[in-house]
Chains A and B, each alone.
Chain A
Amino acid sequence: DIQMTQSPSSLSASAGDRVTITCRASQGITSDLGWYQQKPGKAPKRLIFAASSLQSGVPSRFSGSGSGTEYTLTITSLQPEDFATYYCLQYNTYPWTFGQGTKVELK
């Protein structure tokens, strides 16, 4: 199975901060990677697909980048509604696997 190692596991930030989350795959996944936001008690919500494409309706402060085995989600100017847990998902090889999550908390 492809292991997705996400870092950090948690971070504290203030509104307006820039936040970067990284996912490293145990083997190349050719940009078959998505980023999802999850709030407590809710289903995940797709933010980014194909590593760097922004889901329609998602604010432009969210962006994704990367290739090969290393991928990044960046949130510029963190907003109050962005405090949540973020997961990466590789859908290149079965079984599809998620990163362990990054909880973004208010400092």
Chain B
Amino acid sequence: QVQLVQSGAEVKKPGASVKVSCKASGYIFTTYAMHWVRQAPGQRPEWMGWINADNGNTKYSQKFQGRVTFTRDTSASTAHMELSSLRSEDTAVYYCARGRDSSGVFGYWGQGTLVTVSS
């Protein structure tokens, strides 16, 4: 069965960077894009962008352009999201979600990684 397992919670100081991992299993990793979505406390989810797991091409939301980097390690079936210059407003749960399939998008999600930015 498809599973996306993310790395654990992080606490960071303002100005620091954070890197979240998402390990995929149960399917061929390079077949689907991996998206990243974040959700601040009590807020709607917010789409951050995606990475083509096959060739590594990326598409970032303009809101995060220049501050976020998506990478992937095909040998480990793992996608990574790095966000830099953290500020308190970046405190959120960060999710990876598998991209488009025959039934639309985001059919599979990771369990989420809480990133807390606090001095």
Contact = CB atoms under 8 A, between A and B. Distances in A.
B63 A95 contact: yes
Interface residues of A, number: 22
Contacts of B46: 98
Contacts of B109: 43-45
A98 B59 CA distance: 18
B32 interface: no
B104 A97 contact: no
A21 B46 CA distance: 20
Describe B's contact surface by its main secondary structure. loop
Nearest to B62: A95
B104 A34 contact: yes
A98 B45 contact: yes
Contact of A99 (B44, B95, B112): B44
B47 A55 contact: no
A98 B15 CA distance: 28
A91 B47 CA distance: 10
B7 interface: no
B105 interface: yes
A104 interface: no
A106 B95 CA distance: 28
A49 interface: yes
Interface string A54-95: 011000000000000000000000000000000101010011
Nearest to B105: A91
Contact of A49 (B61, B63, B105): B105
A96 B97 CA distance: 13
Interface in B96-119: 97, 100, 103-107, 109-112
Give 8 nearest A-B pairs by CB, closest first: A49-B104, A43-B109, A96-B47, A95-B61, A98-B44, A98-B45, A49-B103, A91-B105
